[in-house]
Structure 1
Amino acid sequence: MNRRRFLTAAGTAAAAGCVTVPAARAATPVPARDAQDTALLRTWFAATYRSITALTTDFGLTADKIDVSGTGTPVPSVQTSPTNIGCGLWSTVAAAGLGVISGSTMHERLSRTVAAVERLERAHGFWFNWYDARDGSVLTTWPESGDPVRPFLSTVDNAWLVTGLRIAAHADPALRPRIGALLADADWSYYYTPYDPADPVAGPGQLLGGYWPDKPGKGEPTGHHYGALNTEPRMASYLGIADGSLPGEHYWHLFRTMLPGMGQEQEPEGVYATIDGVRVWEGHYTYRGRKLVPTWGGSMFEALMVPLFVPEPEWSPRSWGTTHLRYVRSQIEHGLDEAGYGYWGFSPASIPEGGYREYGVDAIGMQEDGYYSLGVVTPHASFLALPQARTEAVANLRALDRDFGAYDDRYGFRDSVDVGNGRVSDFVLALDQGMIAAALAQQLRPGLLQAPFRSGGFRTRVRPLLAKERFSI
């Protein structure tokens, strides 16, 4: 199952030409920097941004992937998604904020992408899941196979494009009116099914996975909602709560774990709590003696992509901050101790031999048939862990470079490594490079990409919710 299209959630299983630089601030207390490691992180960022540049077409859209195994200039894939485009936007802002490109170059590149986004066909205020990166046309045939593609409006993919657009608008004031016009019709209530206490399965108070808009009315909805809290679709939840298109109670209708007695990876422990009038099951799992809130599949990006932008550990240190720390430690111990690979970091990525699949630690995901590590280590997962385990993450990445040649100075880290047979992926993916770029920006200039998510509705609506979160861990 492709997580970018259908991340089945617990609810279903249960039933501008200048750079505006924010003041330097850290989401969590930052330890003293080691000068050598900091220089290395800067080198890694520059190479990662070169991959983003190589992925971006003349039209201005960041394509899904490139093959970097050859010696010539790699050719971007035909397809791109809203997530890929968002990655390109925030990576460019990060590059300017870190001095890799100038403010004028940032403005030029952001303007080109915004102009391309303005030309993309939309429905119900949102963008389709797949476009041709060369001209922006909606894909109806998959380029690599010729299979038909039914245009789809994805909740989570639109969240990442909106995230990128918000970051671009903050960094480049000249673009704010145009970006504001693009976002004016992005009403998250389109995806929302209000809570129905008489039938919480049909009315869970959660977001649908998306719609196929080729049917009358709103279109044909997916057969599932995003019910798990600790997964990347919560970015859509935060965006909607912040702009007022979703009620704050939506946050409390998401599952920390599925309820006791439901089929899931392990029987959860926890307590019920009534918060803002909603009865919440504050459940947790235990892995290697460590209590944490699981993700859906057990992968790193589900837990740690969102806090690259929304400062969850700062606003909720005893709950979100604690579970993020324990989640990272669990990934490390799975790779080094439980599986004995000698390396760690597991998240959806390219299969080293070709293709794409989800990788993770099954025991820390709710899905019974979850994501497995299978000896495939994904470098972006280590970058996501930098705030919680900087020393271990840098050491792990150095080892992947030293032992397998997973890094090169042209385009950064390859997407995945099979540490059993030594096979390294030929590809870099825009999504994973975008996460690496954002994670490095947060390490090298804390708060650089977080500024748009610390003010307005994020400060007045989202932060109070996170402050009330207690998790039973």
Structure 2
Amino acid sequence: MKTINALLSGFLILLVLFSCQSTEEVKSNLEIDGYENHVELRWNPEQDVDEYSVYVSLDGESFTLRGETRDTLYMDFVSDLGSEVKLEYQVRAKGETDSLTVARGETATRKMSDEELLDMVEYYTFRYFWHGAEPNSGMAPERIHLDGDYPNNDAHIVTTGGTGFGLFGLIAGIDRGWVSREVGLERMERIVGFLEKSDRYHGVWPHWIDGKTGKTKPFSSKDDGADLVESAFLMQGLLAVREYYKNGSNGEKALADRINSLWKEMDWSWFTRGGQNILFWHWSPNYDWDMNFGLQGYNECLITYVLAAASPDHSIDPAVYHEGWARGGEIMVDKEAFGYKLGLKHNGSEQLGGPLFWAHYSYLGLNPLGLEDQYANYEEENRNHTLINRAWCLDNPNEFKGYGEDLWGLTASYSINFYNAHHPGNDNGVISPTAAVSSIPYTPEESMAVIKNLYYNYGEKVFGKYGFYDAMSPEHDFYPNRYLAIDQGPMVAMIENYRSGLGWDLFMGAPEVQEGLKKLGFSSPELE
């Protein structure tokens, strides 16, 4: 009997020790961050566990199921539990009884200032380009669908323009310490290495690339070659990266030199089709110039002419800008809507302005503040463009649900008919968060009102692990858990420009950019 009791006692001691050790391991396996309206949980994947259940407790004793997930990141929106509350979480392997706890931890929600809210939105959006990057190339995937439903199985297709936008976000993440400078450099080297080996045509990349192979993925039947505009968006970001690294460590300087080689190899003059006074968007090795799309303003393409004029080895004549983009001066108009003037002919919507991405894409590096040429003051043009778009939503002639001072912004995004370039003349009740968020340098108070409304009132319907989802509509009860790189990139870039001017300072500091702008007749405080 003594022997049995001794064995039982030893077993109980071992069991207690094992339990304590397991509890400690479980506790250390959960990373947890508390914000004002949600809590984020992250844990390591467990072998042979395909699905997890997340439980929460306010008293440490009674736990309530919050949700189930196959991911190892879970966002719990907790406004129903109160404000500034202490919470204890358990993550359990999903089963009949959810008895196996694989992670646990405690946190508290907290009131956030506007600056903290903006920092959080920028950080989450940065993660699209960091955690969400295509693994082989490091490039930005064209889209991320959290529902896993990809058209044509294209999760591995990367976008050149979207990657260019995202580069501004990666720089911001490195500069703010969200990732280390060393790890950030490794990612940049992977991206540049992929771009060096991927398909190019006269030094210009296609719109889409297979992230696994570097081969062109046709954007449409005849768009299977060079895309000058998307490549301009890409090089806008690459030049900012070059400037960020050019005076750094030996490795950083080497990367800057490699970017410089890619920049010099882009033959912008080729896209004048033998010396015409206009740039053409596409060239195909199979269809030559059949797309026949000349770049005439005004739309999102201004940066293309700026970079073409700035090119060290393949520059265009100023006449290409003035006769092609500016239409021999006919780009100028005198229009007014809702008390705001537009001085440029917005293609197809000159009275009310085009989709708001026209005020974003070219201006992630090109600083519009104080920027002028003989055709426009670009700070005024972009601010008025934004304010007209907002005023349309406030006027709300179609009486769509939700529209108002804290929910406005029409631009290209996912839509109820898959994809749409929304603007005041083409409004179907879908709001694209990138529209107001990316406009924050032009309309800081008005944009913050939308950010607060989206986060605090719509919550998990519109905010996920890579920031605000691409589109939403109270009118249509439309809240897709989907992202597009070309919409996430402007948000993270423009928030950083608003906060620090980092992207603007880097791009505008490039000597060739300054010379190119002067060559085309631009003036700016940064050119003096």
- TM-score (norm. length: structure 1): 0.74
Per-residue Cα deviation, 1:163-206 (whole angstroms, up to 9, x for no partner): 122122222233012112222220211112578xxxxxxx5x22
Shift of 1:120: 0.2
**Alignment partner of 1:388 is 2:442:** yes
Q: Which of 79, 83, 100 lines up with 2:178 in the alignment?
A: 100
Q: In 2, distance between residues paired with 1:76 and 1:98? A: 32
After the TM superposition, which of the residue ranges 154-163 and 175-184 deviates more from structure 2? 175-184
Q: Which amino acid aligns with 2:286?
A: D
Q: Which of 428, 438, 446 lines up with 2:493 in the alignment?
A: 438
Shift of 1:407: 3.8
Q: Which amino acid aligns with 1:188?
A: W
Matches within 5 A, 1:77-226: 77-139=155-217, 151-172=224-245, 173-193=253-273, 203=276, 205-214=277-286, 219-226=288-295
CA contact (8 A) 2:143 2:155 kept: yes
After the TM superposition, which of the residue ranges 52-61 and 234-243 deviates more from structure 2? 52-61
Report what 2:126 is aligned to: 49
Matches within 5 A, 1:61-460: 61-69=139-147, 77-139=155-217, 151-172=224-245, 173-193=253-273, 203=276, 205-214=277-286, 219-228=288-297, 230-243=298-311, 245-254=315-324, 282-292=332-342, 293-297=344-348, 298-316=354-372, 319-339=377-397, 340=399, 341-342=403-404, 343-351=407-415, 353=416, 355-362=418-425, 372-405=426-459, 406-408=461-463, 410-460=465-515
Q: Which amino acid aligns with 1:226?
A: L
CA contact (8 A) 1:82 1:129 kept: yes
Per-residue Cα deviation, 1:43-100 (whole angstroms, up to 9, x for no partner): 0111111122243122122210111247xxxx97132221133233332112112222
Distance 1:449 1:55, change over 3 A: farther
Q: In 2, distance between residues paired with 1:326 and 1:150? A: 34
Shift of 1:221: 4.2
Aligned-pair identity (%) = 21
Distance 1:99 1:444, change over 3 A: farther
Q: In 2, distance between residues paired with 1:188 and 1:254? A: 14
**Uncovered stretches (5+) of structure 1, i.e. residues with no partner:** 1-34, 196-202, 259-277, 363-371
Q: Which amino acid aligns with 2:135?
A: D
CA radius of gyration, larger in: 2
Q: In 2, distance between residues paired with 1:438 and 1:427? A: 19
Q: In 2, distance between residues paired with 1:281 and 1:316? A: 14
Q: Which amino acid aligns with 2:419?
A: Y
Tell me the number of residue pairs that the alignment of Structure 1 and Structure 2 aligns: 385
Per-residue Cα deviation, 1:258-300 (whole angstroms, up to 9, x for no partner): 7xxxxxxxxxxxxxxxxxxx66663232222432024325100
CA contact (8 A) 1:310 1:454 kept: no
Shift of 1:306: 1.6
CA contact (8 A) 1:66 1:76 kept: no
CA contact (8 A) 1:206 1:254 kept: yes
Q: Secondary structure at the match of 1:220?
A: coil
Shift of 1:412: 0.4
Shift of 1:400: 2.5
Shift of 1:327: 0.9
Q: In 2, distance between residues paired with 1:227 and 1:148? A: 23
Moved over 6 A (4+): none
Q: In 2, distance between residues paired with 1:150 and 1:247? A: 26
Shift of 1:241: 0.9
Shift of 1:382: 0.9
Q: Which amino acid aligns with 1:183?
A: W
**Uncovered stretches (5+) of structure 2, i.e. residues with no partner:** 1-111, 246-252, 349-353
CA contact (8 A) 1:96 1:102 kept: yes
Q: In 2, distance between residues paired with 1:445 and 1:76? A: 35
CA contact (8 A) 1:98 1:441 kept: no
Q: Which amino acid aligns with 1:50?
A: R
CA contact (8 A) 1:382 1:393 kept: yes
Q: In 2, distance between residues paired with 1:430 and 1:68? A: 14
Q: Secondary structure at the match of 1:295?
A: coil
Q: In 2, distance between residues paired with 1:466 and 1:334? A: 33
Shift of 1:465: 4.0
Report what 1:32 is aligned to: none
Q: In 2, distance between residues paired with 1:348 and 1:279? A: 28
Shift of 1:464: 6.3
CA contact (8 A) 1:55 1:64 kept: no
- TM-score (norm. length: structure 2): 0.67
Per-residue Cα deviation, 1:10-63 (whole angstroms, up to 9, x for no partner): xxxxxxxxxxxxxxxxxxxxxxxxx92121111011111112224312212221
Shift of 1:104: 0.9
Shift of 1:223: 2.2
Q: In 1, distance between residues paired with 2:299 and 2:325? A: 10
Q: Secondary structure at the match of 1:417?
A: coil
